[in-house]
Structure 1
Amino acid sequence: MKKYLIRSLKFTVGLLPRAVRQSLRNQPRLAAWYTRSLYDAGVLRHMPTERQQYKSYKKNMAVQQQFIDELPDTSAGSLAVCILVDTPDKNALWTSIKSVLAQSVAASGILICCSRQSFGKVTRLVRQLDLHEYDIAFVHENEDVPQRFYDQAVFVCHSGERLHKDCIRVLMHWPRTDKQLVYVDSDYIDKEGNRHTPQCYPDWNPDLQITTAYIRSGCLLTDARELKQIPHLCRPYALAQWLSARTLNGALGEVQHIPLVLIHVPEKQDGVFQSLLPEFEASLARYADYQIDAGAQSLTLMWRTPVEPKVSLIVPTYNGKALVQACVESILEKTRYRNFEILLVDNNSDELASLAYFDQLAEHPQVRLLRYPHPFNYSAINNFAVAQADGEIIGLVNNDIEVIAPDWLGCMVGHVTRPEIGCVGAKLLYPDNRIQHAGVVMGYGGGAGHAHKYFPGDFAGYLNRLMASHNFSAVTAACLLVSRADYLAVGGLDEENLVVAFNDVDFCLKVQEMGRRNLYCAEAVLYHHESISRGAEDTPEKQARFAAEVACLKKRWKHVIDQDKAYNPNLTLRFENFALTDWGALLKKKLHRIRNRHLD
């Protein structure tokens, strides 16, 4: 009954004028009670129903069309479409061709690529359409395209996929210079032509491409001659795995993302890693041991390290014997990677049992006890410990962390030793096995929040982003690894302005500004014994502190908060569940801002 009363209250509050709602938020005690009640009733954790998602998607697509209609009419250059045919199917091929012919801005030509074995059947199917007035060319996979397509940009799709009617128009009008690759968002389409389940991709996310091959179609190459470089091009996921291999080898140039759904994909899709192309398999074997996950939708990678660098794990604490015991003993007993030290930093503990236990721990050869006899300052405590650490890699670890997966540290170290990677965060679970942390998204609640929070720990996540390691702008310092060199290069944590919270987010963003990629490591799984009820800022004191910290974060990182490249403007910032946004006017403004940014 209480849940229904709270839901009714939430609905009623939503009907109040914006000014009234803002006035209520400015009353700390009332706001604290309201927030706590929402969490207690489970209202803030719900996932939208399929019907709600469909309604949101229809609204989003209407906003997208308004945005497209507002694009200028002028364009320059030419753009062809390449349709990849694996198994010749009349209906699938005709569907793709007809979607190209129905474009609001005509393509300069159509390339149909197929294997030698299917060439005869494919040409016969196309000729049945009587398309003499169109420039259509056939090409065998891994052979050069006709000379008239040289220097032309080409949009690549698979047979059976449909282009949005304004796909070519958007691509022609979207600012792009010498970008090697441009990709767009997609959705699924059923046999009746109903679109659903949009795939709202992040901006270029190299590690997500490596582990999930998320760019599988709907991408623009700057020169049609590049098609010849892609081995076994017409196989269903050859393009995706080629992009992943190029990413692994550092051979892929600059990549641009257009956050508009411009291609519609048939519902039935096999696992992208059901079979690995030899070129991709060879690239993987060069860098990491790998395992194909269930469903063949993602890869688990264990990156190799030429040496085993020493890791200094810093664990600050004030009393908390039971927490520290569970944390430190699980690290010592369960961690397979052994070249580490634990720096236990005692910040004014006064419980005799805790003090005695800390002294006992200090006798272990891999544990050092440091005393920090000053007022609590999370940033200063960690900076103090780093100055005394011996490791080439620094690990920031909360005292309420407990190891689950024995390979957690080895997996994280493997990433940190990659020169392009900065901060590496872990997959953290609440004791009830729900997600506490799986990467930080900038902009949640106006500041930052944890992606997929409260989702089941074994859930695949949006775009498989829970089960696959990939890049985020920031990760939590509850369990974070970074090279000592990078830690010192950005001056460590900000102990003057961010004493308690958001110091980890700020730190990650500073590392990212150096050109590093921060990463969520899905293979490193640990418990975080943070009380679930503490997820809300549910007291006046907490809310006042949180407001001050958010203000600091907003001032310093406004450009990241406005558009986190690891997220998508079509997704909500109200909840941490990757649902579609219902802020249509704001979405359109964001899309214009993104396009204008590329014009600069």
Structure 2
Amino acid sequence: MRGFLSKPHQLLRFVAKRLREERGLRRLLQDIANLVRGNGIAGLFREIAVIGNAAQSPLRRDSAYPAWIARHDYDDERDGPALRRAIADASGASAGADESDMPPLPFLSILVDLGHERPETTGDIEHTIAALETQHYLKFELLVFSKTGIGEVVAARLSSIMHRHSWFQLMTGGAADFTDAANRAVKVARGDHLLFLRPGDGLGQNALAEIALAASRHRDASFLYWDTDRIGPDGRRREPCFRPDWNRELFLSQDYIDGAALIPRGLFLTIGGFRQGFGDHTLYELLLRALCAPDRHEPHHIARILCHRAEPADGPDLSSERAKSSTQLLAVQAYCERMLPCVRAELAAHGITRLRYPLPAALPLVSVLIPTRDRLDLLRQAVNGLLQRTDYPAMEILIADNDSREPETLAYLSHLEDNRSARVIRHPGAFNFSALINRAASAANGDFFCLLNNDVDVIHADWLGEMVSRAAAPNIGAVGAKLLYADQRIQHAGVVLGIKGTAGHVFKFLKRHDAGYQKRLQSAQQWLAVTAACLVVSREKFIAVGGFDETDLAVTFNDVDFCLKLHQAGYRNLYTPYAELYHLESVSRGSDAAKEKRDRAHRERDVIRARWAAYIANDPFYSPNLSRASDNFALRE
């Protein structure tokens, strides 16, 4: 209690967040009463503390990072014995003991381009070498290369280091450019796998061991990647970059791996090595080509901070950032020419690449399914948005009416039917969102279903075309939109399993055009689930997974369950930030404050927790290093 009262800003942030979310003081008081009734006064204080700290800015994340490092980062005294045992066990396999159960450990070639080094200095490269001297794993070599010759001072210093370390080689001169120099270095490398570092990059003493162990366990992966942070001249670590597990859609939107990757040397040579013309995204372009290689599994992510990037002494170079965006776009365009010839790649906000997928020449019919009960003001707005402000012509509207009784609403529904603007599917009885959707879907004629809440309003006319173009891909399941509150803040940009114990929307209450953590708010990407408030899916895939669960998940978490069924069936659920709509969130359904509704909500929560426990424990598109109490990528407590 004393700790809570000492941070009044947390209370203010809690009240402001709930007022925005619940739209009124009465709803806020009901919510507080429910928290106290369900979890006691201590539970209320915990919720206030969580919301008070939820939206961590980069500055606040950096201030919390030392505590995270102390609790969760590799500690040699605590974690070293287990790591050394794993190396010893795998090394025994490498010598021939029980190789079927323990794949051999690889030899690693680490390559550093000295061309990035400042003239006549060796400080940055020596920092990298010092990190290699502390490694627990010793099966590696270091190749430092440069396209041109180097100064006498640098040459003399590096020669003295070479005399101390048999694993250090220096290759300089005789190359036309970086790609030529790097490809030459790879040809003389002896390693099974290649790791490219920048001068000044540091490695945790566990890094090469973790990488080697992962490489031995995932020998068929196209490449491996890991998490990074930055280290400043003061020696302080900051800006942790906690990446998701493999997310192809995100990787096509941005180079979220940023060079922190290990690629098999044989694969590097097979696909032709580095190519010219891609600047700082030369490795990104190579990894995109690696994805196209046959007989390779998807990349594997090591969810640990293994590399500490040197922080630029002069801060970020904005002109360089613009150049990076253009070369990133070139790399994606080259990928599209090979793999997605009908897709157009273009540069979007925040240096992100947008992929524009074409619609079929004969537009498929889309059935828009709108559950409703009264609230004519909302329903009319939603229907007008479809009829007057949506530019997708092949559309039918089905309104699943759940016992509307207000005369104005009934008259409006009759008017829509008389004008053939919409069909009304009447489904009386207790509110059951899943049953309403299934009933409307069974009456629909479309090749695609668009689930749309009656409190959603259109912003841009092309929203439905964007969603259908993505949902039409054979490997895509459900497609979700960026949804906004009326005040232009984020209501939905994807769903993470495990948030607040079950599932939650990420990026809530950020501003519409904010980049979000690692620019992910503005990037098309895969999530385990998206909200059914605005969701597009093909009829075939909807039927294949059995639609919505109207027996056990009548009201809440039914969209999460539906999306997870699609994921289990092998489809990728996608969030696109290029379809934007307003969502007032459950205005027409009302509160869950009544005891009967509260009990139902608890039962449905327990169902989803039991059914999808593995994903709640570990959502692959989030990170185990981030908080499950926050919806805005705060660090794990």
Structure 2 length-normalised TM: 0.80
In the other structure, the counterpart of 1:301 is 355
The equivalent of 2:496 in structure 1 is 441
Residue 107 of structure 2 corresponds to residue 95 of structure 1: no
CA drift at 1:418: 1.4
Counterpart position of 1:157: 197
Mapped to 2, the partners of 1:189 and 1:360 lie a distance apart of: 65
Letter in 1 for 2:358: R
- Given the superposition, is the C-alpha separation of residues 537 and 4 from structure 1 closer, same or farther in structure 2, using an over 3 Å criterion? farther
Amino acid aligned to 2:140:
S
In the TM superposition, 1:318-467 aligns within 5 A as 318-467=373-522
User: Pairwise mapping of residues 255-334 of structure 1 onto structure 2 (< 5 A)?
Assistant: 255-268=299-312, 270-271=320-321, 272-276=324-328, 278=330, 280-284=332-336, 286-296=341-351, 298-307=352-361, 308-334=363-389
Task: Give SS of 1:120's match.
Answer: coil
Q: Is the 8 A contact 2:10 2:49 kept in 1?
A: no
In 1, Cα distance between equivalents of 2:570 and 2:310: 37
State the distance in 2 between where 1:245 and 1:360 align: 56
Using the TM superposition, name which of 144-153 and 330-339 deviates more: 144-153
Instruction: Select between 404-413 and 499-508 the one with higher mean Cα deviation.
Output: 404-413
**Distance between the aligned counterparts of 1:6 and 1:88, measured in 2?**
49
Question: Deviation per CA, 1:96-138, whole angstroms, max 9, x where unpaired?
Answer: 3443344333352113355xxx332399846532213333253
CA distance in 1, matches of 2:394, 2:117: 55
Instruction: String of CA shifts for 1:145-167, please: whole Å, max 9, x gaps.
Output: 56664561222223332222321
Residues 213 and 241 of structure 1 are in contact (CA less than 8 Å); yes or no, is this contact kept in structure 2?
no
Structure 2 residue matching 1:236: 3-state secondary structure: helix
Q: What is the SS of the residue equivalent to 1:530?
A: coil
**Which range is displaced more, 505-514 or 63-72?**
63-72
Distance, in Å, in 1 between the alignment partners of 2:590 and 2:203 is: 43
Q: Deviations over 1:387-435 (max 9, x none)?
A: 1111111111100000112221111111111112111100001111111
Deviations 1:498-540 (A, max 9, x none): 1111110000000000111111111111000127999997665
The answer to whether the 8 Å contact 1:154/1:224 transfers is: no
Alignment of 1:34-183 (within 5 A): 43-44=51-52, 46-48=54-56, 53-62=61-70, 63-66=72-75, 68-69=79-80, 70-73=82-85, 74=88, 75-76=90-91, 77=105, 78-85=107-114, 87-89=116-118, 90=121, 91-114=123-146, 118-121=147-150, 125=154, 128-129=157-158, 130=160, 131-132=162-163, 133-135=165-167, 136=169, 138=171, 141=179, 143=183, 145=185, 149-150=189-190, 152-174=192-214, 175-183=217-225
Structure 1: gaps of 5 or more residues: 12-23, 583-600
Q: Which has the higher contact order (CA 8 A, sep 6+)?
A: 1
Deviations 1:77-96 (A, max 9, x none): 32221224554434444433
Query: Residues of 1 paired with 2:57 and 2:441: CA distance?
Result: 47
Counterpart contact for 1:28–1:543, Cα < 8 Å: no
Paired letter, 1:199: C
Q: Is the 8 A contact 2:55 2:631 kept in 1?
A: no
C-alpha distance after superposition, 1:460-507 (max 9, x if no partner): 101111111101000000000111111000000011111111110000
Q: For 1:581 and 1:425, how far apart are their aligned partners in 2?
A: 27
Q: SS where residue 275 of structure 1 aligns?
A: helix
Equivalences, count: 564
SS at match of 1:522: strand
8 Å contact from structure 1 (residues 434, 454) kept in 2: yes
Partner of 1:21: none
SS in structure 1 at match of 2:514: coil
Secondary structure of residue in 2 paired with 1:571: coil
Over the aligned positions, Cα root-mean-square deviation in angstroms equals: 3.4
Is the CA contact 2:284–2:331 (under 8 Å) kept in the aligned structure 1?
Answer: no
Given that 1:214 and 1:240 are in contact with CA atoms closer than 8 Å, whether structure 2 keeps it comes out as: no
